Amino acid sequence: MDFPQGVRIASLPNPMPFDGGLAIDSRGDAWAWGLNAVHDLCLPDGLVVLHPTQIPLSDVTLGTGARTHSLFDSHGTVYACGDGSYGELGNGSAANSPTPTAVVGLPEGGVKALMSSWGGSGALMSDGSYYDWGYNRAGQLGNGTTTDSSVPVHVALRAPVTQVFQGGSGPKNGQTLAILADDSLWTWGNGAHGQLGDGTTHNATIPIRVTLPKGKKPATVASGGFATYAIDTSGKLWAWGRNEAGQLGTGRSGPDQLTPRAVGLKLRQISSTAQNVAGLAG
């Protein structure tokens, strides 16, 4: 990757925009490249950006992107750009924005993490509260409705959130997982293929608890299109949801897995896209 001389990359956001890349350097500048179809890279010119190009924000500490929108935390304010069709820009509008527009309605206080999926966005605040906005046809916002929202809505959970992950690759899926400070695991959104892990194929418009076997506590989570993954505190990998392409890693493809199942690996990190999974051992 050809960055300008002297640029040192500090972090690569995960997830990334569709067919694009983002990076934040050690000075707090953000860089983008790849497909820029709806200006989702926060760059006003060019359908395709062939080289890493600096976006018009400074002091960037967080970034994320999915489908045709991206989010950045700059100087303590969350900005979004790209496609706003479902309210995923969080600025109170369903219009697109070729340049960064401020997300409105988040509470005072720092942002700990930013999330994005096909048509949704989210922010984990430093106090452990979590907010969703955007696409909501299957309850992806976790606020008890199936109505899209162009402003952040608070997700009611029984304890502060320590880690959260949005999954979803299209309008027929989309689910969120959250690990709470009390070591419980909760999920909401689309459950058509068992990706919520509660033993059913029902959607959930409010958070429902995912139960791991007795004595197992979640350490990290990830989700792709219709599949969900958790690594427990001992390093053991668990998977559930759709498995038609063998994405659960259980040694076979076929029926959906409606509850967490041990995969037989010990990992410390996992990443998932629509139907592909990668894990980091050791």
Tokens standing for residue 217: 């506590």
Mean pLDDT of the chain: 93
Domain boundaries, the chain: 8-151, 157-275
Band of the pLDDT at 276, cuts 50, 70, 90? low
20-56 residue pLDDT tens: 999 999 999 999 999 999 999 999 888 999 999 999 9
Type of residue found at 241: G
Distances (CA, A) of 278 to 23, 72, 190, 224, 275: 20, 25, 23, 11, 11
Task: List the CATH code of the domain at 8-151.
Answer: 2.130.10.30
Distances (CA, A) of 95 to 62, 85, 134, 268: 23, 6, 12, 40
Residues 199 and 193: their CA atoms lie apart, in Å, by 10
Q: Which residues pair with 150 in a beta bridge?
A: none
Comparing 275 with 112, the larger pLDDT belongs to: 112
Other CB atoms within 10 A of residue 31 CB: 23
